[in-house]
Amino acid sequence: MTRLTYREALKQGLREALQSSDKVFLLGEDVGRYGGSFAVSKGLLQEFGPDRIMDVPLSESGFTGAGIGAALGGMRPIVEIMTVNFSLLAMDQIVNNAATLLHMSGGQLNVPLVIRMSCGIGRQLAAQHSHSWEPLFAHIPGLKVVSAGTHEDARKMIMAALLDPNPVILFEYTAMMNLEADMEDPLPAVDLSKAKLRKSGKDLSLITYGSGVYKCLHAAGELAKEGMEVEVLDLRSLRPIDTEAIVASVRKTHRALMVDDAWQSVSISSEVSARIMENCFYELDAPVQRLNGLEVPMPYPKHLEDAAIVQPSQIVNKVRQMLG
């Protein structure tokens, strides 16, 4: 058992991926000499050299396109986009090229590309460096979209994504970078298409992903002191969504609360709610509920930033309300 930060878990995952094949390389803004904007790639330039750890100009469209081209040429590129906000500058490449080339080529062209993005709040970095925009990418056919909500997934998802023949969007979480947790070693491989039951329970299902996982686990611990046994299901995969795991959990607990920091309108929680209603409506003992971030651009002041995203105390209070 090893105790390490979320940042170090990501770095270990990157190192493992780079060691696995000479075809794997990392490119992005400040990933080399600076060591990455969040210090995730610090030291990797010295270990693997400039041909494998590439600093690029400030052009998300340009270096994402270069990654797509390298993937088409047989390489295994890992593209780092500093924050999810900046991914909008590369949306043409991601949506019109990476996501569509397999279909438009009649199955002849795979794009085995991994795009890493830091997501969620940036700890007082305001609206141009914070937000949870996972639903934008989960909407797009042709992409696989996964969310590393635990240290174990931060370590293992990069390697699993590289083995996939499709373009994979991997969300990492800025607010979790310094968070420490114990991690087993060695870790089992990750199945990117499957949700993960993080805690079993019988009274209510907390369905979440990303930075919501540890919040829900913390809330579940507090609720257990009051005799409430809630289940925590980490979606992990946002496209495709593991409907089977969601339905199995709800059929066991008969109540569901979705938790995520993204805006509620047209969100992952909206989709999960719809799938519960379509697949196990008659198993419910209470209406499906959602806890989401406030629908405002992310504020800068700390107290307003905290107010704009879901807090563990809100989860506890909502579950108490739902269980009467």
Write out pLDDT tens, residues 200-217.
999 999 999 999 999 999
Give dist(CA 137, CA 146) in Å, integer. Answer: 10
At residue 103 the predicted structure's pLDDT band, cuts being 50, 70 and 90, is: very high
- In the chain, the N- to C-terminal Cα span, in Å, equals 39
* DSSP codes joined into one string, 179-224: -EEEE-SSPPP--TT--EEEE--SSEEEEE-TTHHHHHHHHHHHHH
Instruction: Quote the mean pLDDT of the chain.
Output: 95
At residue 116 the predicted structure's pLDDT band, cuts being 50, 70 and 90, is: very high
Q: Is 289 helix (H, G, I), strand (E, B) or coil?
A: strand
Q: What is the pLDDT of residue 260?
A: 94
Q: How many other CB atoms sit within 10 Å of the CB of residue 203?
A: 17
The phi, psi pair for 36, rounded to 5°, reads 90, 145
**Token code pair at residue 229:** 């046994």
At residue 143 the predicted structure's pLDDT band, cuts being 50, 70 and 90, is: very high
The phi, psi pair for 253, rounded to 5°, reads -100, -25
pLDDT over 90 at 174, yes or no: yes
* Closest C-alpha to 257, from 172, 193, 321, 171: 321
H or E element in which residue 167 lies = none
**Token code pair at residue 72:** 């088409």
User: By the 8 A CB rule, do 256 and 205 touch?
Assistant: yes
Q: Annotated active-site positions, please?
A: 60, 129
Per-residue pLDDT reduced to its tens digit, 53-73: 999 999 999 999 999 999 999
Cα separations in angstroms, 29 against 79, 117, 257 = 9, 12, 38
Strands (DSSP E) contained in the chain are: 2-5, 24-28, 53-55, 76-81, 114-119, 144-147, 168-173, 180-183, 196-199, 204-208, 230-234, 237-239, 256-263, 289-293
Q: What is the pLDDT of residue 186?
A: 83
Give dist(CA 107, CA 220) in Å, integer. Answer: 45
Q: What is the pLDDT of residue 127?
A: 87
Give dist(CA 205, CA 208) in Å, integer. Answer: 10
User: By the 8 A CB rule, do 175 and 237 touch?
Assistant: no
Q: Which domains, ranges and CATH numbers included, belong to the chain?
A: 2-183 (3.40.50.970), 196-322 (3.40.50.920)
Per-residue pLDDT reduced to its tens digit, 151-170: 999 999 999 999 999 999 99
Q: What is the pLDDT of residue 78?
A: 98
Q: What is the pLDDT of residue 184?
A: 84
- The answer to whether the peptide bond before residue 112 is cis (omega within 30 degrees of 0) is no
